[in-house]
């Protein structure tokens, strides 16, 4: 799975010619900063090193990325790819985005999200709130995945984290627990848990390459489990 994750640091090299590399503590896209910052043009690519990036409410932007800083996309905004190397990504309500990826950091997404690609982290939690949809896959290595009322077109997979499907979440693909050994000593070594509440469902298989604890409201889901 990790080979499929596009590390944002490599993407920056391709974006340099078309992105803005800007100074300051925070890059504000599409809104003035009442603390003396600057406002930058909409519908362009923005990448930053050692700075945070914020896309203002209702703004349309291109690719947004950071190394060693947070990325925040406010409510009703529209962006292309959102990526980070060391830092969290926070996405507000009713946002549209393509791929979202982090190497070291958490991804938190508000209600009404429309994801047109994949959501991926290496070391970090993924949490998506209700009335949201993701057309691709949701993947993490060391981190929990919590989905509340989310429709996933692809699969959901983790190596060393729990997966929780709540409040009517639907996975149209498989749920996969990879079996790679945990080399991150800061991460827990206990068996991960798959929790599926009464309103949620998995249309594909439950594929496990390691021991997994199951917390199913509907015990019939056990018929979908395949140990590889």
Q: What is the pLDDT of residues 107-124, one digit of tens each?
A: 999 999 999 999 999 999
Average pLDDT over the chain, rounded to an integer: 85
The first and second tokens of residue 132, run together, are 């949201």
How does pLDDT run across 34-93, given as a tens digit for each residue? 543 334 455 688 888 998 999 999 999 999 999 999 999 999 999 999 999 999 999 999
Alpha carbon separation from 110 to 86, 122, 210, 225 (Å, rounded): 21, 21, 31, 30
The first and second tokens of residue 210, run together, are 């390691």
* Beta-bridge partner residues of 19: 45
Q: What angle do CA 122, 126, 130 make, to 5 degrees?
A: 160
pTM for this entry: 0.82
């Amino acid at each position: 799975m990790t080979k499929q994750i596009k590390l944002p640091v490599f993407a920056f090299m391709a974006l340099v010619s078309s992105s803005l590399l800007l100074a300051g503590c925070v890059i504000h896209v599409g809104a003035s900063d009442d603390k003396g910052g600057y406002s930058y043009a909409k519908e362009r690519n923005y990448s930053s090193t050692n700075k945070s990036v914020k896309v203002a409410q209702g703004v349309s932007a291109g690719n947004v990325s950071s190394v060693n800083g947070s990325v925040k996309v406010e409510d009703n905004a529209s962006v292309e790819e959102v990526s980070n190397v060391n830092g969290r990504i926070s996405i507000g309500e009713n946002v549209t985005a393509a791929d979202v990826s982090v190497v070291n950091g958490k991804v938190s997404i508000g209600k009404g999200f429309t994801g047109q690609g994949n959501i991926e982290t290496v070391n970090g939690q993924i949490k998506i709130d209700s009335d949201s949809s993701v057309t691709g896959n949701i993947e993490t290595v060391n981190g929990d995945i919590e989905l509340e009322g989310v429709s996933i077109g692809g699969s959901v997979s983790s190596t060393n984290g729990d997966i929780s499907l709540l409040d009517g979440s639907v996975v149209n693909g498989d749920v996969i627990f990879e079996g790679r050994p945990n080399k991150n000593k800061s991460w827990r070594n206990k068996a991960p848990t798959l929790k599926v509440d009464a309103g949620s469902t998995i249309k594909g298989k439950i594929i496990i390459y390691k021991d997994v604890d199951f917390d199913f409201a509907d015990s019939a889901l056990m018929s979908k489990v395949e140990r590889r």
